[in-house]
Amino acid sequence: MHYKSYVPGFLLTIILLQLSIIPPVLSNNFDQTYSFQFKYGLLDQKIHVSVPPSLYEYYRNKTPNPTKDADYAKLVTPQAFKSMAENIKTFIGNKTRSEEQFANAVLTLVHQIEYGDNGAKYPIETIVEELGKCDTLSVLAASIMKAGGLDVVLLYFKGVHHINIGVFLPYQPYGTWWWQQPASYEFEGKKYFIAECTPAMDWKVGDVPPLLQGQIPTIISLENTQTPAPAQVSSKLGNPLNSSKISINLSSAASNINNPDHTINVYGSIKPPYPNQTITLYTSQDGIIYNTLDTKTDQTGNYSINWNTKSTGTHYIRTSWSGNSENTPADSEIMTLFLGFPNSLIQFETQNYYYMYGHPGFGSYLLGIRQGVEEFLNIQLLANGVTLSGEFFVFTSGQMITIPETGKIPINITKINIPKGLQPLRLPQDIEETTNDQFGFILKNNNNNYTLNMRSLDDNEIILSHNQDETNKIFMNTSKQIQENKWYTVEALISEIEITASIRDEYGNLVEKITQTKTKEQNINELQILLINNTGKAVAFKNLRFEPLSETLREKNNLPEPYFQFPKYAIFVLLLSIALIGTIYTKKRILN
């Protein structure tokens, strides 16, 4: 085995999963339409609002905790509500007092949300959960109004612990009651009219709730406090939005010896295809705090973005399209990435040693971790049997150059400029005996405690799996049949009575299959599926499921005897008795 075939395999492997194993908060995609009505004169108009699940998760996991007055301003996110504001303004039109009518329309919309104390929330959370109290309803109304171009502030009435908003208008609003003067408050030379956002009644701009009569608010400015939203809701007047889709794929981007970071190319397309649409990439290492990157679609609705990261370990990623005036937002599948150390880009092979580029001081560390067996995934289920299914493909994870040499010292090393901060690391030739360069699944049964383990395997483990004395294991090797950049499906079943496994290509053609029925003489309790030699490769999974064996499959595999069963002669006697009783009863009726 050449050195180039056993660079740190399990550390260089990228495993991408989209499955029920990812955190529940991320696995439940939702794409619902929320309808709101607002009134303009005697007309009612319905606006359909659709929130991408990724945007909701992004804000829900930020968990705001206002500790001072100014913190409420940080919750206002106008960019997320541009579509709603533009649709409302379009319906109202550029008429006299259109600013007042727009503000009142927003208030009517917000008043339809149920009042309830569910803690401090971002406006996206409030509109999805359809629940909020005075502060959350006020920051929602302020977000929509600011998105529509109005100058608004938050009004904090500390004496009664209440928040609403103030709206600047160049004229005095009508309000609800002609006999009541609209209330306003001066701030930085402008007059802001009160606007109540709670749903006790259909408040208009200028209306003062009885609770606030005589109260003086603290005014919280919303200027220069806006944090850009990663995406926005989509909305449509009248009819519901049409559905849309976004796909996601991954590949290795070109490596650069001067940039040892992981670089993954994320690409896909939207349907319907639209040009110049913003696509948001969400990335997270804990499934809670997300970072975002943006790109645009081309003329055919395709997108592509390179994602660079220095961090090893687990990453969750997805892409999202915010939709447009006709289509709902769309989120891609969620993928989980396990990233190891970047690939060694240049390796030197000498007579006695192998050299690779690496960071000073990392030589012994890299050597040590390569000799262990790394578990990427370990799941346990208590059941009478389990099934495994999913799709996967393989792609190259990084650039690699191997330079063979015959001398003790690599001559070519003097001809290559080693990047600053890196140096050649010397590894012994016998490292190949403990190299984890094989990747696959291991399904095991221990007294109905079933485990799925995804891991790198070393050569010794592979040899042991073929040992004739290891009669409790079944081994399926597809590493030579699997080709790069092609999708394959894997299906496996392990139960108390049988083990089956199959690999098929993207067209459904069978690549490999094994079936083994358990016997008393041969208690098989482990299935190993070797997918690839993972050196310098990445394995991508989606729709991966590891589930208890369904009742249908269990009955098919091990049909139990009924609790009680009539013998055939007993059924015949029963039928004969019923016929005889019927005959006697009929004769008695006739005689009577």
The string of pLDDT tens digits covering residues 137-146 is: 999 999 999 9
Residue 78 has pLDDT above 80, yes or no: yes
Q: What is the mean pLDDT of residues 105-116?
A: 91
Q: What is the pLDDT of residue 118?
A: 79
Q: What is the mean pLDDT of residues 557-582?
A: 43
Sorting pLDDT into bands at 50, 70 and 90, what band is 311? confident
**Bigger pLDDT: 146 or 338?**
146
Q: What is the mean pLDDT of residues 372-390?
A: 75
Q: Which CATH class is domain 32-234?
A: alpha beta
CA distance 475 to 482: 16
> Going by C-beta distance under 8 Å and a sequence separation of 6 or more, which residues neighbour residue 38?
44, 45, 47, 88, 105, 106, 108, 109
Does residue 345 contact residue 398 with C-beta atoms inside 8 Å? yes
User: Angle CA(582)–CA(583)–CA(589) in degrees, nearest 5?
Assistant: 90
**Bigger pLDDT: 152 or 28?**
152
CA 405 to chain centroid, in Å, comes to: 47
Sorting pLDDT into bands at 50, 70 and 90, what band is 407? very low
Residue 589 has pLDDT above 50, yes or no: no
Q: What is the mean pLDDT of residues 473-492?
A: 87
- Percent composition of the chain: helix, strand, coil (DSSP 3-state, to 5): 25, 35, 40
Q: What is the pLDDT of residue 1?
A: 36
Residue 240 has pLDDT above 90, yes or no: no
Compute how many other C-beta atoms are within 10 angstroms of the C-beta atom of residue 270. 24
CA distance 134 to 198: 6
Q: What is the pLDDT of residue 258?
A: 57
Q: Which CATH class is domain 243-333?
A: mainly beta
Compute how many other C-beta atoms are within 10 angstroms of the C-beta atom of residue 479. 15
Q: What is the mean pLDDT of residues 360-387?
A: 66
CA dihedral 348, 351, 353, 355 (to 10 degrees): -10
Q: What is the pLDDT of residue 580?
A: 53
- Determine which of 489-498, 504-513, 578-587 has the lowest per-residue pLDDT on average: 578-587
Sorting pLDDT into bands at 50, 70 and 90, what band is 562? very low
Question: What is the residue-wise DSSP string for 340-378?
Answer: -SPPPSEEEE-SSEEEEEE-TT-HHHHHHHHTS--EEEE
Q: What is the pLDDT of residue 94?
A: 82
Looking from the CA of 9 toward its CB, the CA atoms found within 13 Å total 28
Does residue 8 contact residue 242 with C-beta atoms inside 8 Å? no
Sorting pLDDT into bands at 50, 70 and 90, what band is 345? low
Does residue 495 contact residue 557 with C-beta atoms inside 8 Å? yes
Q: What is the mean pLDDT of residues 297-313?
A: 87
Question: What is the residue-wise DSSP string for 464-488?
Answer: HHT-TT-TTEEEEE-TTT--TT--E
Sorting pLDDT into bands at 50, 70 and 90, what band is 468? very low
Q: How does the average pLDDT of the chain come out, rounded?
A: 76
Q: Which of 111-120, 220-229, 274-283, 360-369 is modeled with the greatest confidence?
A: 274-283
CA distance 128 to 30: 10
Q: What is the pLDDT of residue 480?
A: 84
Query: How large a percentage of the chain has pLDDT more than 90?
Result: 33
Residue 318 phi, psi (nearest 5): -160, 160
Crossing angle of helices 98-111/134-147, nearest 10°? Answer: 140
CA 23 to chain centroid, in Å, comes to: 8
**Bigger pLDDT: 585 or 4?**
585
Q: Which uninterrupted H or E stretch holds 579?
A: helix 568-591
Q: What is the pLDDT of residue 526?
A: 87
Q: What is the mean pLDDT of residues 159-183?
A: 88
**Bigger pLDDT: 491 or 428?**
491
Q: What is the pLDDT of residue 495?
A: 87
Looking from the CA of 195 toward its CB, the CA atoms found within 13 Å total 36
Q: Which uninterrupted H or E stretch holds 154?
A: strand 152-157
Does residue 38 contact residue 89 with C-beta atoms inside 8 Å? no
Q: What is the pLDDT of residue 340?
A: 55
User: Angle CA(87)–CA(93)–CA(96) in degrees, nearest 5?
Assistant: 140
Sorting pLDDT into bands at 50, 70 and 90, what band is 247? very high
Q: What is the pLDDT of residue 374?
A: 54
Question: What is the residue-wise DSSP string for 433-462?
Answer: GG-EEEEEEEEEEETTEEEEEEEEEEHHHH
Q: Which uninterrupted H or E stretch holds 428?
A: strand 423-428
- Determine which of 39-48, 81-90, 116-125, 494-503 has the lowest per-residue pLDDT on average: 39-48
**Bigger pLDDT: 554 or 378?**
378
pTM of the shown model: 0.73
Cα 268 to Cα 52, 94, 250, 251, 399: the distances in Å are 17, 40, 9, 11, 23
Residue 402 has pLDDT above 70, yes or no: no
Q: What is the mean pLDDT of residues 342-371?
A: 62
Q: What is the mean pLDDT of residues 517-525?
A: 75
Question: What is the residue-wise DSSP string for 286-332?
Answer: SSSS-EEEEEE--TTSEEEEEEEE---EEEEEEEEE---SSB--EE-
Q: Which of 345-349, 386-390, 503-507 is modeled with the greatest confidence?
A: 503-507
Query: How large a percentage of the chain has pLDDT more than 70?
Result: 67
Sequence spans of domains, the chain: 3-13+342-557, 32-234, 243-333
CA distance 220 to 217: 9
- Determine which of 279-283, 436-440, 568-572 has the lowest per-residue pLDDT on average: 568-572
Q: What is the mean pLDDT of residues 524-547?
A: 77
CA distance 216 to 480: 77
Report the chain's terminal Cα–Cα distance, integer Å.
Answer: 101
Q: What is the pLDDT of residue 471?
A: 63
pLDDT digits (tens, 9 = 90+) for 4-40: 333 333 333 444 444 445 544 444 434 445 444 444 4
Q: What is the pLDDT of residue 81?
A: 95
**Bigger pLDDT: 390 or 568?**
390
Residue 93 has pLDDT above 50, yes or no: yes
**Bigger pLDDT: 441 or 126?**
126
